[in-house]
Amino acid sequence: MTEAYIVDAVRTPIGKKNGGLSGVHPADLGAHVIKAVVERTGIDPAGVDDVVFGCVDAIGGQAGNIARTAWLAAGYPEEVPGVTVDRQCGSSQQAVHFGAQAILSGTADLIVAGGVQNMSQIPIASAMVVGQQYGFDTPFGGSTGWAERYGDQEVSQFHGAELIADKWDISREALERWALQSHERARTAIAEGRFDREIVPVGDFTTDEGPRETSLEKMAALKTLTDGGRLTAAVASQISDGASAVLLASPEAVERYGLTPRARIHHLSARGADPIFMLSAPIPATRYALEKTGLSIDDIDLVEINEAFAPVVLAWLAETGADPAKVNVNGGAIALGHPLGATGTKLMATLLNELERTGGRYGLQTICEGGGTANATIIERL
Exactly one of 97, 183, 266, 368 is catalytic; name it. 368
Answer whether residue 30 is part of any domain: yes
Give the number of other CB atoms < 10 A from CB of residue 135. Answer: 8
Active-site residue 338, yes or no? yes
- Spatial neighbors of 294 by CB under 8 A, at least 6 apart, are none
Within a domain: 282? no
Reply yes or no on whether the pLDDT at 1 is more than 70. no
Output the DSSP codes for 321-372.
Answer: ---GGGBSTT--HHHH-B-GGGHHHHHHHHHHHHHHHHT-SEEEEEEEETTT
Model confidence pLDDT, tens digit, residues 262-315? 999 999 999 999 999 999 999 999 999 999 999 999 999 999 999 999 999 999
Cβ–Cβ under 8 Å, residues 269 and 286:
no
CA distances from 112 to 34, 50, 163, 222, 316 (A): 7, 7, 37, 42, 30
Contact 224, 231 (CB under 8 A): yes
- The DSSP call for residue 225 is S
Which amino acid makes up residue 10? V
- Percentage of the residues of the chain whose pLDDT score is greater than 90: 99
**H or E segment and range at residue 116:** strand 110-118
Could you tell me if residue 302 is inside a domain?
no
- Which residues neighbour 177 within 8 Å (Cβ) at sequence distance 6 or greater? 216
Number of domains in the chain: 1
Q: Is residue 77 part of a domain?
A: yes
Residue 24 in domain: yes
CA 115-372-317 angle, 5° bins: 90
Residue 107 resides in a domain: yes
pLDDT value at residue 59: 96
Which one of the listed residues 32, 89, 97, 183 is annotated catalytic?
89
- Catalytic residue list contains 368: yes
Does some domain include residue 350?
no
The yes-or-no answer on residue 55 being catalytic is: no
Compute, in degrees rounded to 10, the torsion defined by CA atoms 348, 262, 85, 278: -30
- Angle, CA 224 vertex, CA 91 and CA 346 arms, to 5°: 20
Residue 264: how many other CB atoms lie within 10 Å: 15
pLDDT in the model for residue 208: 98
Is 93 part of any domain? yes
Query: Domain containing 104 — which CATH number?
Result: 3.40.47.10
Q: For 54-74, how does the pLDDT look when each residue is reduced to its tens digit (9 = 90+)?
A: 999 999 999 999 999 999 999
Q: Which pLDDT score, from 0 to 100, does residue 277 have?
A: 98
Our separate counts of H helices and E strands in the chain read 13, 10
Find the domain containing 34 and state its range: 5-124+239-257
Does position 373 have pLDDT exceeding 90, yes or no?
A: yes
